[in-house]
Structure 1
């Protein structure tokens, strides 16, 4: 059961490739299901004055949705396309986020934390945001935001749940309790998370989440899906073979899939 639920395309401003290129690449790779999941438009910063290429412009959102569902029908029988959104969680903007989510018939919505205030902790151009900050305090704020995202009830699963480690900034203190509290919240909410393989090409050199967190997920019974977080068509399914091996080693036998906001588990 080869699936990839986390992809981005040219509309988001920091990826390349049209949606149809991803679809054709998915067919070539033998994907059974392909999730299209581009970034929600920015809500809390002015795109005109912020760093360029952070997310698709708001006026492009309906075009993205229309094209994605058109491709879903056009390639029906060749590949099962699921239409999704990576919906940033921004504290204080829950109502605006909900409005976007409720406006379209998504198959799934990924809840991801990229921003702490106006600082995008996942952007390599903003590494100076770590300057003068205690890494442990940053981790605390990050995982608090993850917990708040979970409790909104707006999302189907949490994306790259420990992406805060992306650039290798880690506190000297243990953060196991912060990670476990976030996963406990996911479990209490009946949600899933993803195993995002893109961390293998990042400075941290490790998938999101870590093996330790995956083992805790398995212990709790938290469902998982997988995604490459591809930003170029040629990176579709990148490292997912390693992701599947890791999941099997940890003890997972099923993957979460989503259609019309309903989760179905499939064996792999």
Structure 2
């Protein structure tokens, strides 16, 4: 069962390719399900003065949903389109996020932590933010935000749960307890996680999450889905063969899919 639940498109500003180009590429690759999941518009910083090309403008959000639904119908005999959103968790803005999510007929919403305050720890232009920081303190702040995201009830699965490692900035101290606490929060609140294969093309050189975290997720009984985090059509499903192999080696036998905010487990 070939699926990809994490993709980005030209509307977000830092990706290329139209939604329809992704759909056509998915059909070419033989995907059974394709999740369209562009970023939540910026709500806690001024898009006019913040770093450019971070997310779709708020006025584009309804157009994004309309186009997703149109493509879902147009290609329904060739591929199963699932309408999603990567709904960045911003502490203190839970109500605004909830209002946006409830306004549209999403099949799933990814809960991802990119921002610690106004610092996007996943943006290559902002790696200077690590300068002078206690790395362990940053990791503690990040994983605390992941736990808070899981507790909101707003999301269906947590995206790239250990993406804090993306650029290779790691504490000298062991952070296993922080990673485990985040996974335990996911389990406690009934969410899934994704195996995000895009980590293989970052300085981390490792999928999100690590194999150790996958093993603990399996032990806890956390459902898992997969995503390429493609930002161009040519990268759709990139490394997902390796991701599925990793999941099988760890011991997973099912993947989580989502339909109108309901989790459906499938064999793979």
Unaligned segments of structure 1, at least 5 residues: none
Question: Which position in structure 2 is the counterpart of 1:92?
Answer: 92
Pairing 1:247–2:224 present: no
2: CA distance between counterparts of 1:105 and 1:61?
Answer: 12
Question: Which position in structure 2 is the counterpart of 1:169?
Answer: 169
Instruction: For residue 83 of structure 2, give the secondary structure of its aligned residue in structure 1.
Output: strand
- Aligned pairs (5 A) from 1:65-104: 65-104=65-104
Question: Which position in structure 2 is the counterpart of 1:120?
Answer: 120
Offset at 1:266? 0.2
2: CA distance between counterparts of 1:115 and 1:190?
Answer: 23
Question: Which position in structure 1 is the counterpart of 2:180?
Answer: 180
Instruction: For residue 257 of structure 1, give the secondary structure of its aligned residue in structure 2.
Output: strand
Cα RMSD of the aligned pairs, angstroms, is 0.3
Instruction: For residue 87 of structure 2, give the secondary structure of its aligned residue in structure 1.
Output: strand
- Aligned pairs (5 A) from 1:1-268: 1-268=1-268
2: CA distance between counterparts of 1:202 and 1:239?
Answer: 13
| TM-score, normalisation: structure 1 | 1.00
2: CA distance between counterparts of 1:200 and 1:253?
Answer: 22
Aligned length: 268
1: CA distance between counterparts of 2:37 and 2:9?
Answer: 9
| TM-score, normalisation: structure 2 | 1.00
Runs of 4+ in structure 1 off by over 2 angstroms are none
